[in-house]
Copies of this chain bind each other. A is one copy, B any other.
């Protein structure tokens, strides 16, 4: 394997010069540098990251923890993080915590030794636990406020405002909120935004309770939804909403003519459903970019970056029956 030594020998210079040619090119005479880079190329040299990391105290990698990559909300986020990291020559260490708080903590302990910073999606863990597990390693929370850690969240306010406005325009008066997991930060957030925004549009919000953020959760919520006499429903996320659509179809309730349904997150899935789901869209690429920025920007010691969401109207929403 090519090392700076083999290159040095090849070029008749010292290893330090080769090292400089890569890390501080300006400190090396142009022709020497050119020669070094050329033979590096030729020998297929790739710096050994362990060695570099050991010497520099840095790793060239960032950690990314998600609760369940199988949830369609995450892949676009992971993809965006990976992409951005790639372009800054960083690698991404991914860990799927399986919604297991203890495993999540373990993962942070393990990751913090091998990365320069960690992006965490953790809707449930107590943030002091996270802070302690990080032990000084830079960490950024996604979609979760915290007084202890920098965080980046999608701000659903604008989209919720638009969505409710649109529902009002369509003649709806009573809107049900099909809640997600009670301990999820985004769930509380969405619920309170709905309640806060509804009056401005002359709408009434009816809470149907908390359900798992799964298709089954959505199906289970339908009974309460039908009882509520609401003419439109907002589900905690699109995955739940998919279950709602399935269950409504099974019960012969047609969407949107008898009932309007909207989801949140606008995952890829939403446009594949039948009827295509109207949704409150987060912007995963922006979330990722903000998170990565916050990982570096120490100004933002414990700050918040908010990414505005938008409302995507498809065909699961229509006029009040």
Partner of A94, one of B54, B94, B276: B94
Cβ of A49 within 8 Å of any chain B Cβ, yes or no, is: yes
**Are the C-beta atoms of A96 and B113 separated by less than 8 Å?**
no
A interface secondary structure, majority = helix
Residues of B within 8 A of A44 (CB): 109, 135
State whether B272 touches A246 (Cβ < 8 A).
Answer: yes
Q: Could you say which residues of chain B place their CB within 8 Å of the CB of A274? A: 245-246, 249, 273-274
A187 interface residue (CB < 8 Å to B): no
A115 to chain B, nearest CB (A): 9
The proximity string for A residues 243-275 relative to B, scoring 1 for CB distances below 8 Å and 0 otherwise, is 101100100000000000000000011011110
A110 contacts chain B at the CB level, 8 A cutoff:
yes
Question: Assuming the A-B contacts A93-B92, A95-B92, are A272 and B54 also in contact, with contact meaning beta carbons closer than 8 angstroms in the complex?
Answer: no
Copies of the chain in the assembly:
2
**Contacts A44-B135, A245-B274, A271-B215; A96 near B70 (Cβ below 8 A):** no
B110, A91: Cβ atoms closer than 8 Å: yes
B61 touches A93 (CB 8 A): yes
Q: Which residues of A contact B (CB under 8 A)?
A: 44, 46-51, 53-54, 59, 61, 68-70, 72, 74-76, 78-79, 82-83, 86, 91-96, 98, 103, 107, 109-114, 135, 215, 239, 242-243, 245-246, 249, 268-269, 271-274, 276
User: What are 21 A-B contacts with C-beta separation under 8 Å?
Assistant: A44-B109, A44-B135, A47-B113, A48-B113, A50-B51, A54-B54, A68-B79, A69-B75, A69-B79, A70-B76, A72-B75, A72-B269, A75-B75, A83-B96, A86-B107, A91-B95, A91-B110, A92-B93, A245-B274, A246-B272, A273-B274
